[in-house]
């Protein structure tokens, strides 16, 4: 059973499941479905969007289960929350390394952008003693569909 489960589980799914385990959440079929639906999702979905996608196949799925699972993944460092929209909605990002985002002002789509190799920093004086450890940019504009 354990071996069969491992053979069809990608490394990303496995590391997310390990994160849930560290957060003391049992690996239920519902949580497994949430993790599988989320780890390779590059659209930065809201918890509601993941819930809507899953409840057709799993009618007993509750929104609280989706939200709590994503929240546990975030606390375990296995996903990040982006609040880049004017409505302050939380978007979940399975990618945790530093990267940039492009946000469409018309449809709200969020996509990953590979960061420029050498990000230009403000002058020392403008940083006012602040030590920069990571640079992440948000580009606002129109996506290819909305142009």
User: Is residue 112 involved in binding Zn ion (CB under 5 A)?
Assistant: yes
Burial 100-132 (b: 16+ CB within 10 A, else e): bbbbbeeebbbeeeeeeeeeeeeeeeeeeeeee
User: Is residue 106 involved in binding Zn ion (CB under 5 A)?
Assistant: yes
User: Is residue 103 involved in binding Zn ion (CB under 5 A)?
Assistant: no
- Closest of 123, 130, 81 to residue 101, by C-alpha: 81
To the nearest whole angstrom, how small is the minimum distance from the Cβ of residue 146 to Zn ion? Answer: 3
User: Is residue 74 involved in binding Zn ion (CB under 5 A)?
Assistant: no
Contacting residue, 107, 113, 119, 121, with Zn ion by CB under 5 A: 107
To the nearest whole angstrom, how small is the minimum distance from the Cβ of residue 52 to Zn ion? Answer: 20
Query: With respect to Zn ion, which residue has the nearer C-beta, 86 or 128?
Result: 86
Q: Distance between CA atoms of 16 and 22, rounded to whole angstroms? A: 10
């Amino acid at each position: 059973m354990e071996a069969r489960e491992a053979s069809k589980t990608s490394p990303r799914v496995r590391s997310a499941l390990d994160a849930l385990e560290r957060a003391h959440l049992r690996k239920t079929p519902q949580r497994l479905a949430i993790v599988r639906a989320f780890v390779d999702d590059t659209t930065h979905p809201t918890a509601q969007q993941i819930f809507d996608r899953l409840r057709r196949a799993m009618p007993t799925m509750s929104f609280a289960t989706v939200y709590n699972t994503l929240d546990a993944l975030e606390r375990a460092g296995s996903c990040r929350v982006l609040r880049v929209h004017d409505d302050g909605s939380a978007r979940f990002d399975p990618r945790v390394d530093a990267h940039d985002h492009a946000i469409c002002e018309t449809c709200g789509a969020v996509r990953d952008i590979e960061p420029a190799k050498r990000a230009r920093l403000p002058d020392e004086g403008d940083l006012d003693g602040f030590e920069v450890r990571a640079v992440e940019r948000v580009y606002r504009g129109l996506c290819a569909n909305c142009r």
